[in-house]
Amino acid sequence: MKKLIAILSVLALFTGCSCDQKMMDTPTKKVEMFFSNYQSLDDEVMTQLDEIVAEEENFNTEHREAYKELMKKHYQDLTYDVKDEIIDGDVATVTVEIEVTDYSKAMSDAEDYLAEHPEEFQDENGEYDPSLFVTYRLKQLKEVKDKVKYTLDLTLSKVDDEWKLDNISDVDERKIHGMYIY
């Protein structure tokens, strides 16, 4: 009898796990997980951030750390609300509203300031020093408090009986990162 109860308990446990797995494999849940990974600073998100920062030629070590801290706060402050889910066979669209820090105006204003005051970003030889501009731009980004909302239509495809988020468009990526300029 004890063996039967143990076997039934194990079967119930596995059955429960597969049901939970199926419940977690919906287009909406995949999108929620995608944004939750940003908020929790998931290892994959942080690896991607590290790769992006490492590729920036005009960043020095201090700039890289400052930008990473700025984006980590940005990701943690990101909010999202799933508005709709449409499934058509093995393709789905999840409409989600996100709210992010709006860095776009600060980025644009910094570029304008550079154009109007190029002498402020010159080294001692009178040459343009991109490092000086990066320092200025990062300072401007740190001061941003404004938020912006965007509605994204994210698509997913069912592959091998599992929903997978399709590649995010460049525009949607810029929106998620608060860098979308209208």
Select from 33, 28, 179 the least CA-distant residue to 92.
Answer: 28
- The pLDDT assigned to 21 comes to 53
In a domain, residue 120? The reply is: yes
pTM: 0.81
Number of domains forming the structure of the chain: 1
- The pLDDT assigned to 22 comes to 58
Per-10-residue mean pLDDT of the chain, 182 residues long, equals 33 39 82 97 95 92 95 96 97 98 95 96 95 96 96 97 96 95 80
R_g over Cα of the chain: 22
- The pLDDT assigned to 89 comes to 96
- The pLDDT assigned to 182 comes to 76
In a domain, residue 21? The reply is: yes
In a domain, residue 181? The reply is: no
Each residue's pLDDT tens digit, 99-139:
999 999 999 999 999 999 999 999 999 999 999 999 999 99
Q: At residue 149, what are phi and psi to the nearest 5 degrees?
A: -110, 140
Count of residues for the chain?
182
In a domain, residue 36? The reply is: yes
Domain range holding 77? 2-176
The percent of residues above 90 in pLDDT, for the chain, comes to: 85
Q: Is 75 exposed, middle or buried (0-12, 13-18, 19+ CB in 10 A)?
A: buried
